[in-house]
Chain A
């Protein structure tokens, strides 16, 4: 179904309103503090809206729906675990209270106070690399959702002849590339002008549009499919396909209700997701930037407690759409256990919504998803630009600190540069579909494992030192990279048979690769081992070769 003029009107009204509000906020920006953390003047409810809007982009909807498509209701498990972690942190103040009390702008800035400049710079590098590379796939996945849900193909577009080579080289761009480039340009305009102040206000508007779209779509998905039909068909598909390997087009369901039962996703995977969830809510810079923009630590904790249950829906509702999409395609008379040509487990959900949603609601859903994408992009652009400015550039300038106007110009330039990087690397340069997901997991694990170990060490262990911090950064990053290399060698059949046999307990027998939960857990174990052993070894060496004098001890 193609879009109706009513749908286009809804989308246009939303876009104009959002940009006008974002540009309006420029008048309040008077320095880097306003630009990066909104002058630390944010209240709880605005914080909840901003946090919710930033942490739900189209990319989130795509992968959570894919989880639901492959694992039924169990696909919402990471959301339940994140909600529990958020509630725990909100109640105890674990990490976020000392972090907010430190009055820093970014997490690496805190590390300088504890471990020195080198650790701050290295941590900044890991944060930026992990964060920006992670964001690299957002635009493409967002574009895939929009082209499938609107019914537009990606075949039409522009073809520009390039001036080099033999004249046959062209730059081909379909609707996907053009749409997402235009969307990013809009986001860049208000983020560069108003920084966090524009991000907060546009996040608020985007939260309203996004929330309305998600609620209405979820109700229509349930009424259209029927709850009993949904449950019965998911169970039927699980019984019929149990044990089969999941691929791009085949319709295979794991245990859709019980993560620990027969054919379920497994205990190891749930444990990994629980640790991952705790690391995300305490260290992911885009989440933490809302903590740092809060008026005080009590506001930040209150924001966490109120936003906690939101995470169940963040995974559960798009997961519900994915599970309903599975049932929709599973029950088609010509299905034969396969999706129609041109669809896969990622694009099945938007194609399903395009088929069932009425005029008006489809426009609302697209406006909601544009809102989700714009709030995520603006929040992430600003966050990574602030880290580059605060932790990579400023420490190198030493005593030659630029003027307030120049500092603001530096941060704004960083926002534009990251935007350009995303367009050319993440959108116009095409990563393979399988590579996209390996890549997302890898970049996330590098960041989370290293920074979580560093934060916990810095805030709660008096014995932590700079050597342990560097070891945590190196091992936390090296672990996931090593496993990706091993997985690549396993898929290429270049690992000795005896070694493959030895690794059998930690491998997915159907896919012939190491289980993702083993890779994820190993990254955290290695990072914490680096922090502990590095700090301990350095202390022992110091005591043996450079013992402190009695005066120093006193």
Chain B
């Protein structure tokens, strides 16, 4: 039998672990979509701002 105080902590960790799985899944879709757009924007900005080629 788990004592009360330890049981409260167990509820806390249960919430954290399942929320983490859900958060990772949401982040994967959200950042996956928006981050892809950021990559395109970044490359366009770099081409626009630096016409000279130093490399």
Contact = CB atoms under 8 A, between A and B. Distances in A.
A80 B9 CA distance: 13
A328 interface: no
B27 A211 contact: yes
A257 B2 contact: yes
Main secondary structure of the interface of B (DSSP, over half): helix
Given A211-B27, A211-B28, A218-B21, A200 B16 contact: no
A34 interface: yes
Contacts of B42: 38, 41-43, 46, 197, 200
A416 interface: no
B45 A41 contact: yes
Interface in B9-27: 9-10, 13-14, 16-17, 19-21, 23-25, 27
A255 B41 contact: no
A29 B30 CA distance: 28
Contacts of A197: 42, 46
Nearest to A29: B55
Interface residues of A, number: 52
Contacts of A207: 28, 31-32, 35
Interface centre among B25, B37, B46 (most CB of A within 10 A): B46
Interface of B: 2-3, 5-7, 9-10, 13-14, 16-17, 19-21, 23-25, 27-28, 30-32, 34-39, 41-43, 45-47, 49-50, 52-55
B24 A30 contact: no
Contact of B53 (A30, A43, A259, A309): A30
B39 A46 contact: yes
The 6 closest A-B pairs by CB, nearest first: A313-B20, A73-B13, A46-B38, A45-B34, A211-B28, A43-B38
Nearest to A193: B55
A18 to B, nearest CB: 14
A42 B38 contact: yes
A310 B5 CA distance: 27
A538 to B, nearest CB: 43
B1 to A, nearest CB: 9
Given A34-B50, A45-B30, A310-B23, 15 more contacts: A26-B55, A41-B46, A42-B42, A44-B38, A46-B35, A46-B38, A46-B39, A52-B27, A73-B13, A200-B42, A214-B24, A235-B6, A255-B6, A259-B9, A317-B21
B23 A313 contact: yes
B28 A30 contact: no
B31 A45 contact: yes
A316 B34 CA distance: 25
26 contacts: A30-B53, A30-B54, A31-B55, A41-B42, A41-B45, A41-B46, A42-B42, A45-B35, A46-B35, A48-B31, A48-B35, A207-B32, A208-B32, A211-B24, A215-B24, A218-B20, A218-B21, A257-B10, A258-B5, A309-B19, A313-B20, A313-B23, A313-B24, A320-B17, A404-B54, A408-B55
